[in-house]
Structure 1
Amino acid sequence: MAKPRLDLGSVDDLNLAGAKEWWVRLYREPAPSLSLQLLKFGIAYRIQIRAAGISEPKMPRRQRDRGRGKPIPRNLAPGTRLVRDWHGVGHVVTVVDNGFEYEGRHWSSLTAIARAITGGKWSGPRFFGLPA
């Protein structure tokens, strides 16, 4: 019997358990600890990649360059979302014009957010996977 297929129009109907199941099917790894909406975004992305006939998305040049020791520019446009899983909990930070928004509060630095999440001293850019 064939596995059921998920189309783009059905992604909105998924509950958390269904989204995690489809994540495993599409990404071949356990679902990260993110909100249902972010999991749905990732599922929809993978469905579109497959529909376009792309087997593996190409790694962006900035990620390739990171491995070569080249600095990556850190110009984060407002609206950019930074996502980090910390001890099984998903954290999402949104870049705004004059800083960052996290858990409904305005923050002036990523380092302050990283310290609030971890309870320890962290470089905010490093915590969120950006160049120092």
Structure 2
Amino acid sequence: MSTHIPTPSTPPSVAAQIARLPDLPMADIKALWQQLVGGETPTHNRQFLERRIAYRLQEAEFRKVDANLLDRNQRRIASLVETGKVKKRDRDYRPAAGTVLVREYKGVEHRVIATADGQYEFQSRMYPSLSMIAREITGMRWSGPLFFGLRPPSNAKAKPSTKKRGAR
């Protein structure tokens, strides 16, 4: 098993870059800010700057992996600004590439891997949706996101009344 050692041609991972932010001199933090955000730093609060730089590093890296991620986030931000409320998830929500979804069904553990192209790998085969995989596993039509726990069950069924009846 080989280990990945960063060289001048392969920069350190985003996680490694973020992990070393607290150890960088303030001058380097300001230089990173200018490189990633542009302009002068809006504050001298180091924690604020580190958090924003970490966000920008992740944004740049994950935009490469999932081109739709930025669009989805911009729609969520627009919705928040418009309504003042955060929606739970977009309807087109998909887990990040590399996410492993695990579900036990009838005593058998099933593993699904989200891929960068928006599909899912299950038992060495590619599927365009989680619902197709859930149907493959159960033999019935299921909401894939519900089956794999990405979405909570709806509360469509009325709950029994919890009111106490008065004594006669």
TM range (shorter): 0.3 to 0.5
Q: Name the TM-score, length of structure 2 as normaliser.
A: 0.35
Q: Considering fraction of residues, name the structure with more strand.
A: 1
Tell me which structure has the larger Cα radius of gyration.
2
The structure showing larger relative contact order (alpha-carbon pairs under 8 Å, at least 6 residues apart) is 1
TM-score (norm 1): 0.44
